[in-house]
Amino acid sequence: MFELPEVETVRRDLERDIVGKKVKHAEATSMKVLRRYRTRNAFTSRLIGNKIETVTRLGLRIAIGLDNETTLVVDLGSSGSLRRAANKEEVDRATEVVVTFTQHGQLRLLDDAGTSEMFVVANDSIADELPDLEALGLDPVSQPVTWTTFGRSLLARRVRLKTLLTDPTFVVGIGEIYADEILFHAGLRHNRMSDSLTSQEIRRLHRALVGTLHDAIKHRGTSISEREFIDPLGNPGEYGSHLMVWGRHGELSARSRLPIQRVKFRGRWTYFCETQV
């Protein structure tokens, strides 16, 4: 799945670009990403004629608020891509949904694999349609959290650090890539128990968590061969060249000048430096 920096990059781009625009026409090429509907028209008819008022984020979902008290929810999954395009621009074969505005082009959802989803929901029904939102944990990008609050949540659990970081009920939107990077910057091993950290280690982990996420957003997310990320302007995320350990097995660590290690953890590779304790 895409992680928080990728989804937040898309949200910020769309907030700058499509708020205030009115939907003239909407078209779905198939039912692949419309799993909550029986027909394409049942979805597209809920968009036409409405004006976009807000673009926010619900966990890892994009929420596009419309002026009729409904919200267009977009879940990018692990293969979806929202793109801005001119009306006459050639339509990519992976395009599933095209939203045409009265002015300034279109918004398109591309998804060859079909892991993404789009649907419209009444604002007062969002909690019912997305019950998992209630269980989401800290969101350090949209709601900054102090290291003391973070520490209390951390020490209240007894679980391996990487398991905890990738648990959405603890913190939103961290997967394999950013968990390894955060732990490297914090100098902590993936298999340390969460309730074993000292106050200094909690501070380091909190600083690494916030810093890594904001740096990744600044560099517009991570695009890798296993999971390509393309922003709404059609550009790949640039944070991949800034990764310190993830995917760099055998390369020399910037911290120790020793080869970066990897081990299988929960069935997947975890990357780390020997200096992490």
Domain boundaries in the chain? 4-133, 147-272
pLDDT tens digits along 3-14: 999 999 999 999
pLDDT at 180: 98
Residue 201 confidence (pLDDT): 98
pTM of the model: 0.96
Q: Sort residue 227 into left (φ over 0), alpha (ψ -120 to 50) or beta.
A: beta
What pLDDT, on a 0 to 100 scale, did the predictor assign at position 65?
A: 98
What pLDDT score was predicted for residue 274? 96
| Predicted confidence (pLDDT) per residue in 106-117, tens digit | 999 999 999 999
pLDDT at residue 226 greater than cutoff 90:
no
**Quick one: CA dihedral 148, 152, 158, 162, positive or negative?**
negative
Name the percent of the chain lying above pLDDT 70.
Answer: 100
CATH number of 4-133: 3.20.190.10
Q: 39 CB contacts (<8 Å, ≥6 apart)?
A: none
Is the confidence at residue 48, as pLDDT, over 90? yes
What is the tens place of the pLDDT at every residue in 182-217? 999 999 999 999 999 999 999 999 999 999 999 999
- pLDDT, averaged across the chain: 97
Instruction: Decide whether 4-133 matches 147-272 in CATH topology.
Output: no
The dotted CATH code for 147-272 is 1.10.8.50
Report how far Cα 150 is from the mean position of its chain's Cα atoms: 20
DSSP structure class, residue 193: B
Percent of the chain at pLDDT exceeding 90: 98
pLDDT at position 1, please?
86
The CA–CA distances, whole Å, from 272 to 141, 209, 222, 243 equal 25, 16, 18, 12
Cα–Cα distance, 95 to 134 (Å, whole number): 32
